Structure 1
């Protein structure tokens, strides 16, 4: 690597597990069987981008399991949002949801999630890997996008864009994770018996260790230990394959729901009991393996209102951070 290239790159010294380049994903290609991919917690990536003056769709780094170490090769403004990973810049602890300045040669260390599950790093100018089908996002199932279609590993060099200049560091308040996830009824809600409908909304659901970026598999924690925690359909008839999107809650034959996430398939045949609203999908992504949450039923009007509130919040943050 020559000196000129070094000025526009960052180096991965330690990669952790499943650290990837992500933006807001690919849109307009689901009819071709191409998954959305992109950040699991879109809110945190957008927030990090706004803190460093990037458009919200810029690519950043999604960090799932540490430790991760990143070295900067030019003076760089960066931001970390999402989970607290015990971050240090050259041995100095730094806060999440703040814009920080790193000198060329300094190293950022992310030890591991203290609470919640995912951290997002944005740098001024964004990560500049190849754009494929309108996105820089890593789709590991298809092996496209990101850095050669795979998770990052030690020794990888990532190009970054044109630097920005700010007067000072600045921080914003992040949303606080709560174990309540709002959802609307799905198209096949009526296919489940009344007891299953009640259990879906009233019992706690634990994120299974079999979860991944395609979907979080849930295990029911029934309040009454004598009753089954599985969801039961009135009729066990097969459904025709149909389109699905992130947020859909499917129920396979074992009666344990799956919440589809960014890397989910484009079609499926399981009944859809519910769909997590867009404004709360980040809560699913930030729920650690083994932790619990509950679904809260809302209607379409409230789902739209929550999305509009989210957009107003991001606009306010953009104004506060652009100094």
Structure 2
């Protein structure tokens, strides 16, 4: 069992979500940075979809009441277990009575903590992910609170005392608004050609800032005004994580993991699935730049990301727990 000591409501239990229920109005949900949670689980020998913690508000502290092992991925944060410092993207043992502290990120926005065996919580519609909008999953559909105690599935995790790490050179995370803009690959959406040539040029040629109106449902951006060539009335239509809608204000909204399943605003583009982790790790104030790509390039990017995870699994199995040092 673990006990939550310091937290905030944006911190939740997540797994890889509950796909297949959009027709019922239920979001895909799950970890915003699904790659980070999957790798944290794989570092421990868990199924990649085991439930863990998504930490969006730091500092975060928990206390272990049993000997177990955990892995921490995602944002680049200072991490301590009692007086022992740990690097990011690291798996290690934690003993009963020890306290884990994850401090504010130096870069990135969300941390992921997986536990050997995963969190022992009820599955709702095939997932343990928290859906705060619908009020189910995780801990009764709510964020973590001080004093919460979560049970762990019993599992043995053969880790050396020094721990194990993994280096992922391709994951370059932007930390703050003064850093360079985060590049996101996009495909044109259904109403792309309904926007003016000036809007097309501004969308891909200018930088966009993530405003304070940002959460798991979506990010509202600020920048140039995007205008339609002529007014349009649209029926509500299906949307998915990554959809970039443009409301009457002309300021885009990117739909994310807990987005509504349908909406009526015109859609100018969609962020490709392989780049959604970059959005998950983009903090308020960060700047974005959109790069148009082909369907073939988007498909290949997703295929490559999945192949990297599969290779990670194979390496983990072959080496019996000895990953490449970070």
Q: TM-score range by the shorter chain?
A: over 0.9
Q: Is the 8 A contact 1:171 1:321 kept in 2?
A: no
Task: Measure the CA separation in 2 of the matches of 1:16 and 1:33.
Answer: 27
Q: Which residue of 2 aligns with 1:185?
A: 188
84-93 vs 253-262, which moves further: 84-93
2:220 aligned with 1:217: yes
Q: Is the 8 A contact 1:170 1:321 kept in 2?
A: no
Q: Is the 8 A contact 1:22 1:146 kept in 2?
A: yes
Q: Which residue of 2 aligns with 1:200?
A: 203
Q: Is the 8 A contact 1:39 1:262 kept in 2?
A: yes
Out of 29, 39, 43, the residue aligned to residue 47 of structure 1 is 39
Q: Which residue of 2 aligns with 1:239?
A: 234
2:269 aligned with 1:277: no
Q: Which residue of 2 aligns with 1:172?
A: 166
Q: Which residue of 2 aligns with 1:224?
A: none
Q: Which residue of 2 aligns with 1:159?
A: 151
Q: 1:183 Cα shift?
A: 0.8
Residues 89-108 of structure 1 mapped to structure 2, 5 A cutoff: 89-108=81-100
Out of 14, 18, 22, the residue aligned to residue 30 of structure 1 is 22
* Over 6 Å off, 4+ runs: none
Which structure 2 segments of 5+ residues have no match?
175-181, 322-326
Q: Secondary structure at the match of 2:62?
A: strand
Task: Measure the CA separation in 1 of the matches of 2:61 and 2:40.
Answer: 18
Which structure 1 segments of 5+ residues have no match?
1-8, 221-228
Q: Secondary structure at the match of 1:279?
A: helix
Q: 1:165 Cα shift?
A: 2.6
Task: Measure the CA separation in 1 of the matches of 2:107 and 2:253.
Answer: 23
1:32-77 superposed Cα distances (whole Å, 9 cap, x missing partner): 1111221111111111111111111111100001121111122111
1:165-222 superposed Cα distances (whole Å, 9 cap, x missing partner): 31423211132226111111111100100010011011111101011110011111xx
Q: Is the 8 A contact 1:16 1:67 kept in 2?
A: no
Q: Is the 8 A contact 2:44 2:157 kept in 1?
A: no
Over the aligned positions, Cα root-mean-square deviation in angstroms equals: 1.1
Out of 133, 136, 140, the residue aligned to residue 125 of structure 2 is 133
2:245 aligned with 1:253: no
What TM-score results when the alignment is normalised by the length of structure 2? 0.92
Task: Count the aligned residue pairs.
Answer: 307
Task: Measure the CA separation in 1 of the matches of 2:23 and 2:129.
Answer: 18
161-170 vs 71-80, which moves further: 161-170
What TM-score results when the alignment is normalised by the length of structure 1? 0.93
Q: Which residue of 1 aligns with 2:297?
A: 302
